Amino acid sequence: MSQTAVADSDTGLPLRELARRHGLGVAGRLPTLPEYTGKLWAYRHFIAYYANAKVTSSLGKTRLGSLWQVLTPLINAAVYYVIFGKILDTSRGIPNFVAYLCTGVFIFGFTQSVVQSGIQAISGNLGLIRALHFPRAALPLALTMVEVRNMFASIIVLMAIVLGFGEPLTLEWLLVVPIFLLQSIFNAGLAMAAARLGSKVADFKQLVPFIMRFWLYGSAVLYPVTKFQSALQDHPIALKIVEANPLLVFIDLMRHALLEEVPLASTPWLLWAEAIGWTLFVGIGGYIYFWRGEKGYGRG
Amino acid sequence: MADEREPTVIVDDAHITYRVQQSGSASSPLAGFKRIVTGAKPTILREVHAIKGVSFVAYKGEAIGLIGTNGSGKSTLLRAIAGLLPVEKGAIFASGQPSLLGVNAALMNDLPGERNVVLGCLAMGMSPAEVKPMVKEIIDFSGINERGDFSSLPMRTYSSGMAARLRFAISAAKKHDVLLIDEALATGDAKFRKRSEQRVRDLRAEAGTVFLVSHSEQSIRDTCERSVWLESGLIRADGPTDEVMKEYEAFVKK
């Protein structure tokens, strides 16, 4: 005999019916959002361990090892100090320009590196995805954790720089904690969205550097925010759009917390409202967007 | 009667397609532009129809061998049953969560073996408390420490056999309802093969249903009473191992 009947020969039932009768689930079915969240929570140890392992393995071959976590932001800041603080000696109407600049560079760099690694979260781990079961959101989340850890070191360095350039230590510095938290959640959402986009369209990865460059110039990292106000005087709507940019909001808030005299895009209260709004929208939106694609991640 | 035979895996007219993005050999920026303007289908996006409508039912207590020549879709089918590859058309139903026991589980090459063991166990859904006592057992089973303390060295320093043994040891550490084994028995030297065959027998005793993909006729004959013969994405034969094997051998010899 070379063929067995397609339907179950004993009962003559269609296969679909047979599966239903015995309560079999569809393999690779999309779980509901609460189910998925529960699964993800059960994998929290995996996420933490994976993030940890990623840091170790990325620095494993270097001689200085984890010292790089502190050295990288320090060198980064040194570059900007040499160019803008020493050579060009620009202040552009801002009292403490180097501290102002470093805050912007560090906060922007946090989101930038999360997007860059998030875009490859799925496409760079296909081996793992095709071999094992776990909620795929664990991957972009773990990569976000890696950057959160790096940013933690960066913030300490940043604080030292700001203090070193003569800013006083005030109670407002405590605001760094909620800002950091909001930006981390915002970044996690962004990483998940980028992961799905990157898994579907590989071309997207080529565009990311340009998108990030555009975003950098739109976030008033290298020059004061007031520059937009004077440049876009006659275009109030365009100005509103530029000033609603989430990264500009996070950078402004951080500058407001760490520095004494800074020009802001708008009042602190409005900035906080915008930051919370963006965090909720991108955090939840990115998660749902990623979850909707869960079934297709093994393909490719 | 039908009620005594409880189905654990039902494959209902499953189709699986891989989409392969190729970097075209004769592709120039101009050609790419032309493609976009004319709306032609990109020649570099090719579809590989790996499984073309496969149906069968596996019951509790069965061990099923999947045989077929290279590229016939055996491993693809296993991955789809495990829910790791989405089906294009049709459906696959399974009781519980089928687990794929492969030697391909990618681990982190820059990490020491020990930490890869923990990572692999956590990725299979174990809790840290469950993992802790397992680590030593897994490393002992894999036998990578037989020639000195290799478990604390990065995995990139391992020989391919050692790495494969460690991967097998990790994935064999968990109990499964439906167990899918992909060539795992062909790993390592004779000594390790003996140990792994014993482990698979133990796992089989606990699992409801076992699928085995192998090119070794002997291991299929030893473990499976039923066999499914796949050829270019279609079932050529499905029945008792002896009969299917006979047909398959006749086909291969041609």
A165 close to A98: Cβ distance less than 8 angstroms: yes
pLDDT value of position A204: 86
A216–chain B nearest CA distance, Å? 29
Tell me how far apart the alpha carbons of residues B61 and B8 are, in angstroms, rounded to a whole number.
Answer: 9
Picking from B10, B47, B66, the residue whose alpha carbon sits closest to that of residue B230 is B66
* A4 close to B (CB below 8 A): yes
Which residues in chain A touch residue B235, judged by CB atoms under 8 angstroms apart?
3
Question: Cβ separation of B111 and A4 shorter than 8 Å?
Answer: no
For residue B141, the Cα-to-chain-centroid distance in whole angstroms is 20
Q: Are strands B45-59 and B7-21 parallel, antiparallel or unpaired?
A: antiparallel
Burial A233-258 (b: 16+ CB within 10 A, else e): eeeeeebeebbebbbbbbbbbbbbbb
pLDDT band at B44 (very low <50, low <70, confident <90, very high): low
Q: Would you list the domain boundaries of chain A?
A: 31-296
Residue B63 corresponds to which tokens in the numbers above? 């061990």
Contact, B199 vs B165, CB < 8 A? no
E strand spans, chain A:
25-26
Range of the domain at B105: 61-89+96-253
Of A26, A7, A2, A1, nearest in space to B2 by CA: A7
- Are residues A27 and B55, on separate chains, in Cβ contact within 8 Å? no
Q: What angle do CA B184, B186, B192 make, to 5 degrees?
A: 90
List, edge to edge, every strand of the sheet that includes B209-213.
B99-101, B178-182, B209-213, B63-67, B226-231, B234-240
How would residue B150 be classed by pLDDT, with cut points 50, 70 and 90? confident
CA dist A240 and B185 (Å) reads: 64
Q: Which amino acid is at A237?
A: I
Residue B253 makes CB contacts below 8 A (sequence gap 6+) with none
Q: Is residue B17 part of a domain?
A: no
The whole-angstrom distance between A64's CA and the closest CA on chain B is 16
User: Could you tell me the CA-to-CA distances from A85 to A95, A109, A165, A264 in Å, in that order?
Assistant: 12, 20, 11, 21
Q: How confident is the model at residue B105 (pLDDT cuts 50, 70, 90)?
A: low
pLDDT at B155: 84
* Number of domains chain B contains: 1
pLDDT at position B4: 60
Evaluate whether A5 touches A13 at the Cβ level (below 8 Å). no
Tell me: pLDDT of B234 over 80: yes
Give residue A230's Cα distance to chain centre: 31
Q: CA-to-CA distance for A289 and A137, rounded, in angstroms?
A: 11
DSSP H or E stretch at residue B146: none
Lowest mean pLDDT among A30-44, A134-148, B1-15: B1-15
Query: Could you tell me whether strands B7-21 and B89-94 are parallel, antiparallel, or unpaired per DSSP bridges?
Result: antiparallel
Q: Which residue in B5, B35, B84 has the most chain A C-beta atoms within 10 A of its own C-beta, making it the best mutation to test that interface?
A: B84
What is the residue-wise DSSP string for B75-135? HHHHHHHTTSS--SEEEEEESS--EEE-S-----TTSBHHHHHHHHHHHTT--HHHHHHHH
The dihedrals phi and psi of A157, each to the nearest 5 degrees, come to -60, -45
The pLDDT score that the predictor gives to residue B22 is 66
Show Cβ contacts of residue A73 under 8 Å, excluding neighbours closer than 6 positions: A106, A109, A153, A154, A157, A158
A59: nearest CA partner in chain B:
B110
CA distance to A202, A203, B44, B70, B77, per residue, from B20 (Å):
12, 14, 8, 19, 18
In this prediction, the answer to ipTM > 0.90 reads no
Asked whether the predicted pLDDT for residue B147 surpasses 90, the reply is no
CB contact under 8 A, B10 and A18: yes
Q: Is the minimum CB–CB distance between A214 and chain B shorter than 8 Å?
A: no
Task: Assign residue B246 the CATH number of its domain.
Answer: 3.40.50.300
Distance of CA B59 to the CA centre of its chain: 19
Q: Taking CB atoms and an 8 Å limit, are A27 and B79 in contact across chains?
A: no
Higher-scoring residue by pLDDT: B33, A238: A238
- Residue B204 — pLDDT band, cuts 50, 70, 90? confident
Chain B CB within 8 Å of residue A298 CB: yes
Q: Cβ of B83 and A29 within 8 Å? A: yes
Alpha helices in B151-240 (DSSP H): 160-171, 190-206, 217-223
**Residue-wise DSSP of A205-273:** HHHHHHHHHHHHHHTTSSS-THHHHHHTTT-HHHHHHHHT-HHHHHHHHHHHHH-SS---SS-HHHHHH
Using a CB-CB cut-off of 8 Å, the residues of chain B touching A4 are: 56, 238-239
Whole-Å CA distances, B86 to A30, A70, A126, A162: 10, 43, 14, 52
Residue B170 reports pLDDT greater than 60: yes
Looking at residue A194, its amino acid is A
- Report d(CA B52, CA B61) in Å as an integer: 27
Give residue A5's pLDDT: 41
